[in-house]
Structure 1
Amino acid sequence: MKQQATILSAELSGFQALAESLPQDEISPLLGEIHALVEKTARLHQGKINRYTGDTFLVVFNASRKDHTGSVNAVNAAFELKDQLDSFIKDRKMDSSLTLKLGLATGDIIMGGFGKDEKTQETIMGEALVYANRICQFAGEGQILVDEKIREACKENIEFQVLEPIPIKGGETTLPIFELIVKKRKKLDLTKSSERKITSEMVGRIREAELIEGLIKNLVTAKGTVVNIVGKAGIGKSRLLAEIKEQPLFEGVVLLQGSASSIGKNLSYHPIISIFKSWAKITEDDSQSESAEKLEKEIRRVASAKVDEIYPFIATMMGLPLTGMHKERVDGIEGEALEKLILKNLRDLIVTSVKVTPLIIVIEDMHWADSSSITMLESLFKLSGSHRVMFINILRPGYKESGDYILKYLVDNLPGDHITINISPLANTESKELIDNLLQKARLPEEINEVIIKKTEGNPFFIEEVIRSFIDEGIVEIKDNHFRVTDKIHNAKIPETINDVILSRVDKLDEKTRELLNTASVIGRNFYYKVLEEATDTIEEMDERLEYLKDVQMISESKPKEEIEYLFKHALAQQLTYDSIIQQSRKDLHLKIARSIEKVFAENIQDYYGTLAYHYTKAENKEKTIHYLILAGDESMKSGASSEASSFYKDALNQMPESRKNN
């Protein structure tokens, strides 16, 4: 089939010399890593690998005769490939002259399958392929050379140098070629105001909101229930809760909120502890004794008659030190007996407190909860049937051992005391309403609206990210504090998936801001300023860059200035940013983060044993991994989380050499 395309033809210059210097068994894995890097970069820029042949490869970018999307994507991919290969070599400290030679051309190609049955391959022929290969042959090491069509398509954003035309068709004629010098990347405006932020009132979800509000009214006068808000990433689960929290009826209840962590499968009681820290106003800067004092004071406030019984066990669960009679109360109790007493006293605390004021406990990202928390919650959920306590669990489907398990447990054991609300995609009319709300008075052409609605499939976060990408690219501009749709809208490229639009936005950041965001993604969805600062000491204007990332709504600030904490606006943005980092760089960043945590939280290091074990595991530092896995296991045993302790110890054994296991 004949079509227009941009072809990127590349050669790994210097690979043959490098291969001769390496052991035979290292060549294939090295080439495999480079191929994976190329494939990820091509996919990010809507390209498709057509052919690998040792140290050469071809990437095809679909191009339209109406716009220059294929050429722009190919050029962006070429720049990215060069940067990624340079980082790949640097990260591995390779003494190598390995570099890329790239030739790009746009034109007609014929693409089709050749061969029979399973041997059929998608093969391309045509002018663009011939020219791209020819241009690549004339490229020097590290050069990106393009034809005139690509130069015309990209001249507003790229600086080119005119080179001598190259002979083609047996020397009968010549082909003008140009070298890409540098992107005319706009200087990052670190002083941008919040006028570029997009917001909308909640669209749809009226039935779901009214249902939860009715349950809260019943909580105030009678009893609680367990509410599960279930939906895919970006569908609007947290937004629904945020909207309800703004209602006046919340003024008559106590709201406690925590969340599970994406790295927290073995972080004992993580969501429960996060709730208690928030309740007692414990900060990361507090020493253990200060944290213990704050916890005891808060328990005394709501359960003064039982504080000496309840406090020692809650403090033990949180890993806080005990002294005097409180220590005596817990000494000698361990294993299952300790777990039961922690649970009993937690139940007593809740029952006592709700006699005065109704309580709502919210746990976000329940699908990431650790097994000790899940076991504890199974018992706590039962309180909602006879006391004024409501649990709201926010989770994604498809997590068999956590979220799905909880949903099944509630169906089997509390059929009359729970409700599950499945959040559906927005209807087409609701998606259109959301687009209009985000752009205020500006309006997109109807055909663009239709494409957005079709591709985003009613996912509000996807819709918001598409609109943000329009602002990033100047398709929508800000004039007199209002959005205005420019003529560029007619050439707008709507990404096929939510992953594509997020990664495209990340790719458009300047190098240092992207490096900062990458480092933050390795820390996790939530990241403390102090840890990020320690891990990125070479990045200038860090505060301004964080403000810019807040302004473009990639991150937000989640805690007050005294213990500044940020979080990615969406868990998916953190995960995709993390996944886009090449493996060696990711490994190095995990090592940096681990060392930063050790330094920043030296006084409360025991709170981070599990986190440090995770980062050192990812950094492939076996000694440190084993060290922190054992310490994390010990802390879990002390806090009554035997399931997590067992998991930490097993992981430590798996990391140990046989000689050490025997000792």
Structure 2
Amino acid sequence: MNALEKKAERRLVTVLFADLSNFTSLCHEIDPEESVKIANIAFERINKVVSANGGMIHKYEGDAVMCLYGFPVSHEDAPERAVKTGLELLGIMPDINESVHSQTGIKSGLDLHVGIHSGPVVVSEVGSNEKKEYTVMGNTVNLASRLKDAAHAGTVLVSTSVYRTTRYLIEYQDEGMQTLKGIDTQVKLYRPVKLREKPEPKRGIRGLHSPLVGRDSEFEAIKEKIRGLEQGSSGVSFITGDAGIGKSRIWQEIKDFIEYEDVGVRILEGQCIYHGEHLAYWPVLQILDQIFAITDKDNPDAIKAKITEKVSGLLPQNWKDIAPYVGQLFSLKFSDELDEKIRYLSPRDLQLKILGSITTLLEAMAEQIPVLLAIEDYHWIDPASLAFIRFAFGSRDTRNVMLLCLSRDGMDEEFQKVKEELRTKSQESFTEIKLNPLDRYSSLELTYNLLEIPGFSKDFKNKVLAKAEGNPFFLEEIINSLIDSGVIVFEDGMWLQQKKLEEIKIPDTIQLVIASRLDRLEENLRSVLQMASVIGRTFYKSILAEIHEDKKRLIGYLETLEEYKFILHLLSSGQSAEDVEYMFKHPLIQQVTYTSLLKAKRRKLHKLVAESMELLYKDRIEDFVELIAQQYASSDDFDKAVEWLLRAGKKAKSNYANENALEYYRSIVSIITENAISNPQALIASYESMADICKNTGRNAESIENYTKIFDITEDGLIRARITRKIADTYQKQSMYAEALEHLEKSGEILDEVKRNIHSLERKDDYFLERYTLYHHIAWVNYLKGDFAEAKAYSDKSFGEIEKVEDRKEKSIAMASALNVQAAVMCRTGETEQSYECYMKAEKIFEEEGDLSGLGTIYNNCVNYFAEKGDYISCIRYLEKSIEIATKTGNALGEAISSFNLGHEYLNLGNYVMARDYLERYQKLNKLINNRLGEGWAAETYARFYEEQGMKDKAMESANLAIEIFREVKSEIKEMGAKLTKADLLTESGAYEEAQVLLCQVEEYARKNSVTDYIVAVHISRGAILERKDPEAALAEYHKALDLVKRIGWVSGLSEIYFNIGRMMESMNKEGYSEYYENAKKTLRETAEKITDEDLRHSFLNKPFNKRIMSA
């Protein structure tokens, strides 16, 4: 690194341009020597004013001068200094003209026009070994120059940035929006008039006059909560306030209180990091590190051993249901038995298992000693960790665990929304402690606590407290700046005031307070701090040593920086000399230090950091994928950035950290497009992955937008066909079946083109599998539409494509999946026995291939067959097997559906206690998987549940809710089913006309789409309506239902139809009614005989309607 590179940096400065008005015209009238003399007289006076206000003359340009404030030493009040300079310069122009006249005899009539702007610049020493000079470059310089050009003689114009920071001190005239030469957009201009006689307070928010308060009441409030936690209560608490207001300080005092008062509470803390929203589970991983005592040097085997030991000790009975999911966050592999739990999970189900496992682990720890779970800098929390907070504390009562979040306030950010959700859910157990600025007494007390300085003068106290304005961080940093500058020193075991305060200017804003401290560091210390800032808020010495030139002196530099209060040494048990960890004392110190680096230098250092992490953590590389990706993404090694971002995206997607995954893929797209990189594979993978995630999370428009972008990247037919088919799937999920089928047709046309050149494909199976998947989707869309003929036709076609696949395993899995769809279609079209055969074939294939997830699906779906046969015990047996598999593989959706079906079957059996238990279990699971359609299923079933319990009002309420939900998600077939339920309820209440309207709607739909079970139900329901007015017509409806049920071989509902026919014939004095009664009893007894459990048989026969049948 050469000397020039060391001095080059980015800074926040205020630039002032001043131009002598009338000087050019004057020069045309006088001798050049006189012109030089006049210029020197003017600039000598101007220079004195600039220097007196702490500015620096950067350069002269003819009759103009460029001045810098905040360079080479930062001044927080640089804008104020510059504006004061501008006003003073206007004031001295008469004196300058008088001096010119007295020294040259020329009446110059000079005036001045000034422009001032604050902003970032690059300052660099440039040139050759023979000649070097500082150059200040950037848009800030250009805008300041243009403001000077726009100012009239005798005026100063400033930008908005200068106005905002100085309006408390300066009176301004608003000059409105103006167009400046060389500036693309209009600029708001202000003209300073004079210094205010009574300056306004610099800090605070205008219009807000909250009283200043100390910290005693806030501290007592949180202590009370912690004492309650010690006694077994739980809850959620937030400590909120502006940056630097004292959140971290009060948290340290809380920790000291717990330690020194021997409070029976264990602290687990995680810290979110600036720009850490892409680092999934970051604070959660810190908490897990504390739980398992994981260190930076632990290899995967050591981490696995620690997790196993801890979890098995806490949860000896079910540790195997916890450890693999926790281990997933560390990218660990356990035994085949434990890994089996993860292998078949969808990303969403895996996330739920991870969140549930961490929560269970915390609760187990809390059984031994209550846990205080603290999240610092919650406002920077990543989406995955936020999902954990929402899961553990927003949808359940986590026993003996208190959540404490330290956060800034937000507006519409997601973290703020979650906080309000927690407030609503927790109600009385939720506490928010808002930290306001400290009052004068409290600020002074904190000053004494920090340094115990004797003999403060009143002037000293007034100035320090005025600068701090109640912000503990500002106060602390001001004191540090006073120490750095030697105003106060540590001698003889105590702090002393060494110099008068007037000799050192105290910065007014936090950014430039830090910048002024950085400027006083030796170059070696400043360089170390800048390198560390690239790593992050926290950093390991081992990584810093890899990128620093002088490894031997590094530890000394770090000790000095720690002594100067720029960084803190983080202590942890078992820490070796090589894995020493440090943290910037405040995130703003890290941010200001980082932004002082040139962008080119940052990119270079980011690459070095990433390469070092690859080397140092090669044995645990999966744990650092996100951090390495973030470092490369900030470097100029675009190929490595894309490579690692793809890995990070894939990892986040597999852990269902969707928002993190989306950010990784978006970063890839930005890098490739902004830098004109040719990497179509990565671009396609990114757009497709983003689209997949958006599709699965309901962001359909965004999903289609991302899928569509792929068409501009590739002409590959298989890819285009796949993407078109996925777009169709997006429409199908919205119940937009016409659009779905249109895109499926387009996908088929593309595949037709591919087929013409199939000989050129490296792997022909890709074509046949895509063709199979296409037909499979067409079949499913038609099934959802209720067009079972088309569904069956395309299901048959899918089998034809499967036969062409050569890969045995892919062929078998596809065959079983196709059989499952075909069976579902057959079951709805009355082909009951054929449906069962398909299910059994699929079951056999899944068994042979060891596909547990597929088996679980078959076990769940085949109950449709047994239910129609009235074999409820077989239904329960298969559903219990399905739940067992779902639990073993961690399939939350499968567990939810099987729980629902079990509740439904127990309702059929009349066991209302078991029915309610399983339905409630389903609702809890369904809430976790956010399945809105499933809420409709539950509502429809509860309508039946309440009806059989005689709770008619609640039954109608549930039926209406089901209809509303099904209509909302555009599931027409389910909406019709819910309308059937409502029609029956209306009939029972005597609202026959309204019921008949619903039945007509259902019948029209059912006949159009060949939905056999709905047609049967319509005949039965219509028969019930017609009994009062037209018995013959009612009897005819029941016979139609009977004929249809007999034809398709259904048993379910057969006894009810027999009974209704017998009852009607008896009421009409028709002969033969007793035969129908006997058939009803016989059918009911045959169903009951299949129920091997005596209690269930008893409850079945004692259902109200069944009792009527048996007593007929």
For Structure 1 versus Structure 2, the TM-score category normalised by the shorter chain is 0.7 to 0.9
Distance 1:361 1:439, change over 3 A: closer
2:379 is the counterpart of 1:367: yes
What code does the residue aligned with 2:133 have?
T
Shift of 1:329: 1.9
Alpha-carbon distance between aligned partners in 1 of 2:130 and 2:350, rounded to the nearest angstrom: 58
Q: What pairs with 1:245-256 in structure 2 (closer than 5 Å)?
A: 245-247=255-257, 248=260, 251-256=263-268
Give the letter aligned to residue 229 of structure 2. Answer: L
Decide whether the 8 Å contact of 2:330 with 2:622 is kept in 1.
no
CA distance in 2, matches of 1:82, 1:396: 29
What residue in structure 1 maps to residue 1030 of structure 2?
A: none
Provide the C-alpha distance between the structure 2 equivalents of 1:300 and 1:114, rounded to a whole number of angstroms. Answer: 73
Partner secondary structure for residue 5 of structure 1:
helix
Secondary structure of the corresponding residue to residue 455 of structure 2:
coil
Residue 214, structure 1, aligned to residue 259, structure 2: no
Q: Which residue is equivalent to 1:357? A: 369
Name which of structure 1's ranges 593-602 and 502-511 shifts more when overlaid on structure 2. 593-602
Residues 372, 641 of structure 1: 8 Å contact kept: yes
Q: Which residue of 1 aligns with 2:535?
A: 523
Cα distance in 1 for partners of 2:271, 2:582 equals: 14
In the alignment, which residue of structure 2 is the partner of 1:73? Answer: none
Counterpart among 591, 594, 606 of residue 622 in structure 2 = 606
Pair 1:659–1:306, CA change in 2 (3 A): closer
How far has the Cα of 1:43 moved from its partner?
8.2
The answer as to 2:124 corresponding to 1:85 is: yes
Match of 1:155 in 2: none
2:249 aligned residue (239, 262, 280): 239
Distance of 1:213 and 1:456 partners within structure 2: 27
Q: Write the letter of the residue equivalent to 1:211.
A: A
Match of 1:106 in 2: none
SS of structure 2 residue aligned to 1:252: coil
Check if 1:638 corresponds to 2:662: no
CA deviation digits over 1:525-557, x for unaligned, max 9? Answer: 100010011111336511111111111111111
Task: Name the counterpart of 1:389.
Answer: 401
Seen in structure 2, the aligned counterparts of structure 1 residues 448 and 348 have a Cα distance that, compared at 3 Å, is same
Question: C-alpha displacement at 1:505, in angstroms?
Answer: 1.0
Which SS does the other structure have where 1:318 is aligned? Answer: coil
For residues 422 and 628 of structure 2, the distance between their equivalents in structure 1, rounded to whole angstroms, comes to 34
**Offset, 1:217:** 1.8
Change in 2 beyond 3 A, CA 1:226/1:294: same
- Residue number in structure 2 paired with 1:139: none
Q: Which moved more, 1:420-429 or 1:616-625?
A: 616-625
- Secondary structure in 1 matching 2:225: helix
Between the aligned partners of 2:406 and 2:377, the Cα distance in structure 1 is 6
Does structure 1 conserve the Cα–Cα contact (< 8 Å) formed by 2:70 and 2:78?
A: no
Alpha-carbon separation, structure 2, partners of 1:117 and 1:11: 20
In the alignment, the residues of structure 1 paired with residue 519 and residue 551 of structure 2 have an alpha-carbon distance, to the nearest angstrom, of 18
Which AA in structure 2 matches 1:469? Answer: S
- State the 1:498 CA deviation: 2.0
Q: CA deviation at 1:61?
A: 12
Please list every run of 5 or more consecutive structure 1 residues that lacks an aligned counterpart in the other structure: 14-34, 52-58, 64-80, 103-112, 125-202
Residue in 1 aligned with 2:74? 44
Q: Where do residues 15-30 of structure 1 align in structure 2 (5 Å cutoff)?
A: none
Residue 114 and residue 368 in structure 1: after superposition, are their counterparts in 2 closer, same or farther (change >3 A)? Answer: closer
Distance, in Å, in 2 between the alignment partners of 1:62 and 1:318 is 63
- After superposition, the Cα gap between the structure-2 partners of 1:568 and 1:376, relative to the gap in structure 1 and judged at 3 Å, is same
Matching residue within 523, 526, 533 for 2:545? 533
Once residues 593 and 120 of structure 1 are traced to their aligned partners in structure 2, the CA distance between those partners, rounded to angstroms, is 53
Do residues 99 (structure 1) and 133 (structure 2) align? yes
Q: Within the alignment, does 1:449 sit opposite 2:452 as a pair?
A: no
Matched, 1:591 2:591: no
Distance in 2, Cα, partners of 1:554 & 1:101: 29
Instruction: Pick which of 388-397 and 330-339 moved more.
Output: 330-339
Q: Name 2:357's counterpart in structure 1.
A: 345
Do 1:49 and 1:60's aligned partners in 2 also have CA atoms closer than 8 Å?
A: no
- 1:502-528 Cα offsets, whole Å, 9 max, x none, are 111111010001000111111111000
Contact 1:383 1:389 in 2 (8 A): no
How many angstroms apart in 2 are the aligned matches of 1:114 and 1:265? 42
- Equivalents in 2 of 1:434, 1:352: separation in Å? 40
Q: Is the 8 A contact 2:518 2:526 kept in 1?
A: yes
The structure 1 residue matched to 2:663, chosen from 641, 647, 650, is: 647
User: Compared with structure 1, are the counterparts of its residues 632 and 522 closer, same or farther at alpha carbon in structure 2 (3 Å cutoff)?
Assistant: same
Letter in 2 for 1:99: E
Structure 2 gap ranges (5+)? 1-44, 90-119, 137-146, 159-212, 673-677, 685-712, 715-1112
Equivalent position amino acid for 1:5 in 2: V
Count of residue pairs brought into register by the alignment: 525
Q: Distance in 2 between matches of 1:399 and 1:571?
A: 21
Higher Rg of the two aligned structures: 2
Change (3 A) 1:478 1:360: closer
Aligned to 2:517: 505
Provide Cα deviations, 1:74-124, integer angstroms capped at 9, x if missing partner: xxxxxxx999413xx59xxx999663399xxxxxxxxxx999989995289
Partner of 1:424: 436
Give the letter aligned to residue 304 of structure 2. Answer: A
Mean Cα deviation higher: 477-486 or 355-364: 477-486
Taking structure 1 as reference, are residues 658 and 555 closer, same or farther at Cα in structure 2, changes over 3 Å only?
closer
CA contact (8 A) 2:312 2:319 kept: yes
Residue 50 (structure 2) pairs with residue 5 (structure 1): yes
| Cα deviation digits, residues 208-245 of structure 1 (max 9, x gap) | 11111111222222320101111122211122121122
2:597 is aligned, of 567, 578, 581, to 581
Q: Which has the higher contact order (CA 8 A, sep 6+)?
A: 1
Displacement of 1:301 in angstroms is 1.8
Matched residue type, 1:352: A
Q: Structure 1 38/285 Cα, relative in aligned 2: closer, same or farther at 3 Å?
A: farther
Whole-angstrom CA distance in 1 between matches of 2:135 and 2:254: 56
The aligned residue for residue 976 of structure 2 is: none
Q: Which residue of 2 aligns with 1:332?
A: 344
- Alignment partner of 1:227 out of 201, 214, 237: 237
In structure 2, the partner of 1:405 is 417
Q: 2:580 maps to which residue?
A: 564
Residues 246 and 502 from structure 1, CA distance in 2 versus in 1: closer, same or farther, beyond 3 angstroms? same
Residue 292 (structure 2) aligns with: 280
**Cα distance in 1 for residues equivalent to 2:631 and 2:60:** 33
Paired residue for 1:376? Answer: 388
Amino acid at match of 1:508: R
Q: 1:587 to 1:224 in 2, by over 3 A?
A: same
Q: Distance in 2 between matches of 1:262 and 1:490?
A: 36
Letter of the 1:511 partner, please give it. Answer: E
Residue pair 1:12, 1:98 contacting (<8 A) in 2 also: no
Aligned-partner SS, 2:428: coil
TM-score, structure 1 as length reference: 0.72
Q: Distance in 2 between matches of 1:97 and 1:635?
A: 53
Secondary structure at 1:557 match in 2: strand
- Distance between the aligned counterparts of 1:39 and 1:619, measured in 2? 31
- In 1: Cα distance, 2:679 partner to 2:322 partner: 44
| More helix, by proportion | 2
For the structure 1 residues 61 and 240, does the alpha-carbon distance in structure 2 shift closer, same or farther, using more than 3 Å as the test?
farther
What is the CA-CA distance between 1:424 and the residue it aligns to?
A: 1.2
Answer yes or no: is the 8 Å Cα contact 2:56–2:71 preserved in 1: no
Equivalent position of 2:507 in the other structure: 495
Q: Which amino acid aligns with 2:328?
A: T
In structure 2, distance between residues paired with 1:525 and 1:381? 28
1:263 equivalent in structure 2: 275
What's the offset of the Cα at 1:558?
0.6
Instruction: Give, in whole Å, the separation in 2 of the partners of 1:218 and 1:414.
Output: 15
Please give the alpha-carbon distance, in whole angstroms, between the structure 2 residues aligned to 1:101 and 1:412: 57
1:304 paired residue among 311, 316, 323: 316
The worse-fitting range, judged by mean Cα deviation, of 528-537 and 553-562 is 553-562
Distance of 1:371 and 1:96 partners within structure 2: 55
Contact between 1:334 and 1:637, CA under 8 Å: does it hold in 2? no
- The one-letter code sitting in structure 2 at the alignment partner of 1:344 is G
